[in-house]
Amino acid sequence: MDKMAVIGAGQMGAGIAQVSAQAGIHVFLSDVSVELAEKGKAGIAKQLARAVEKGKLEANDADAALARIEPVGDYAPMAEAGLIIEAATEREDIKRTIFENVGKVLASDAILASNTSSIPITRMAAATTDASRFVGVHFFNPVPVMGLIELIRGLATSDATVDFVRAYAERIGKRVVQANDAPGFIVNRILLPMLNEACFALGEGVATIEDIDAAVQLGLNHPMGPLTLADFIGLDTCLSITQVLHSSTGDPKFRPAPLLVKYVEAGWLGRKVKRGFYDYSGETPVPTR
Ligand code: 3HC
């Protein structure tokens, strides 16, 4: 494969475009407007420049990777893509509209993949032109750093599609784990109850924000404490995945913590709005409680 496309130029989409371009693949990058796709590319340029500054990447390689990323304003160029990865907002109606539109240009042997973190693959596959060529590929944030891809097979996903995605993952240097099309797949099924529990602990006054984070970071050797990680992922995303786990299983163990719900209702969504469990408006994050 020498050409692919990424739909959605936010944090995840830009990360996917970056690692793919660094692996030598030409990437059509799109978003709701070409301006947003350009903005995504500008963010990638900064990441690559930082890697060059740190001596982790040759300047020539960074320039070549950046030149392989082509922001596009419509789906027509994606007719040349062997793989199209949708990394748009985590809303099923938005994703379905994308699949419908991209289906009009998708090459007859191209693979369509979704980076969804919680929407069932089999259900979304039903909205595509060929469910056998549809698959879930779940990346982790920050994409250039995290070494994993969860590969999720829908009921109709073919072996050839799975093999194709495995080869792509190997090319971009990620380890693949295969998960059934079950709520939260593997990582979020395990991670979100932990983050939700940290919110329960805070809400019940077990400890302060700083101490909950320090306890997990130092006591379990995690790179970030759970409240810092929840802010990093986005509290709205954490709540929405927890709600999917809760509603699709009916299991009360996944009940969202009231404090998490309150923070989302307040619009305190984490790092992206500079306010979650920490205040990010200054140089260093400050706990808010
Ligand atoms: N993009 C690219 N690279 C980044 C980055 C970003 N946004 N943020 C950090 N990095 C790189 C740095 O450049 C640095 O690279 P180097 O070692 O080559 O110099 C390396 O990561 C370490 O960064 P820092 O020294 O600045 O900071 P830390 O050591 O604190 O690491 C972290 C930052 C990598 C984010 C680390 O804290 C971490 O791994 N945190 C946990 C992240 C995690 O759990 N992600 C999964 C979330 S769940 C998910 O995504 C699924 C979804 O469905 C919810």
Residue tagged active-site, from 117, 118, 196, 240: 117
Which residue owns the Cα nearest ligand 1 atom 35? 142
ipTM of the complex: 0.94
Q: How confident is the model at residue 13 (pLDDT cuts 50, 70, 90)?
A: very high
195 pLDDT exceeds 90? yes
Q: List CB contacts of 59: < 8 A, sequence separation 6 or more.
A: 52
* CA-nearest residue, atom 49 of ligand 1: 140
Give the mean pLDDT of the chain: 97
Q: Is the pLDDT of residue 270 over 90?
A: yes
236 in Cβ contact with 269 (< 8 Å): yes
Pocket test for ligand 1, best of 50, 145, 148, 243 (most atoms within 8 A of CB): 145
Q: Ligand 1 pocket: which residues have CB below 6 Å?
A: 47, 54, 56, 117, 140-142, 144-146, 188, 191, 223-224, 229, 233, 237
Residue 86 pairs in a beta bridge with: 7, 114
> Token match 């109709």: residue?
156
Number of Cβ within 10 Å of residue 132's Cβ equals 16
Residues 6+ apart with CB under 8 A from 5: 27, 28, 29, 30, 72, 75, 77, 78, 81, 83, 84, 85
Whole-model pTM: value is 0.95
Q: How far is the CA of 213 from the centre of ligand 1 (A)?
A: 16
State yes or no: is 188 an active-site residue. yes
Atom of ligand 1 nearest to the CA of 117: 53
pLDDT at 284: 95
pLDDT at residue 289 in the model: 84
**CB-based contact 29:69 (threshold 8 Å):** yes
Read off the pLDDT of residues 130-147 as tens digits, 9 standing for 90 and up: 999 999 999 999 999 999
d(CA 257, CA 262): 9
Please state, for a pLDDT cut of 70, what percent of the chain lies above it.
100
For the chain, which domains are there?
3-179 (3.40.50.720), 188-277 (1.10.1040.10)
Span from the CA of 224 to the centroid of ligand 1 (angstroms): 9
User: In this predicted model, which residue has the larger pLDDT, 21 or 91?
Assistant: 21
What does the pLDDT read at residue 84? 98
φ and ψ at 175, to 5 degrees? -85, 135
Residue 33 falls in the annotated catalytic set? no
Q: How many CB atoms lie within 10 A of CB 91?
A: 11
Q: What mean pLDDT comes out for the span 23-52? A: 98
The structure tokens listed for 152 are 């999720």
Ligand 1 center–CA 99 separation, angstroms: 30
Give the mean model confidence (pLDDT) for residues 158-171: 98
Distance CA 276, CA 167 (A): 38
Q: Assign 277 a pLDDT band (cuts: 50, 70, 90).
A: very high
The residues, ordered by sequence, that sit 6+ positions from 197 with a Cβ below 8 Å of its Cβ are 226, 257
Give the tens place of pLDDT for each residue, 46-80.
999 999 999 999 999 999 999 999 999 999 999 99
Query: pLDDT digits over 106-119, tens only?
Result: 999 999 999 999 99
Which of 114, 115, 118, 188 is the catalytic position?
188
Give the separation between CA 200 and CA 195, rounded to whole angstroms.
9
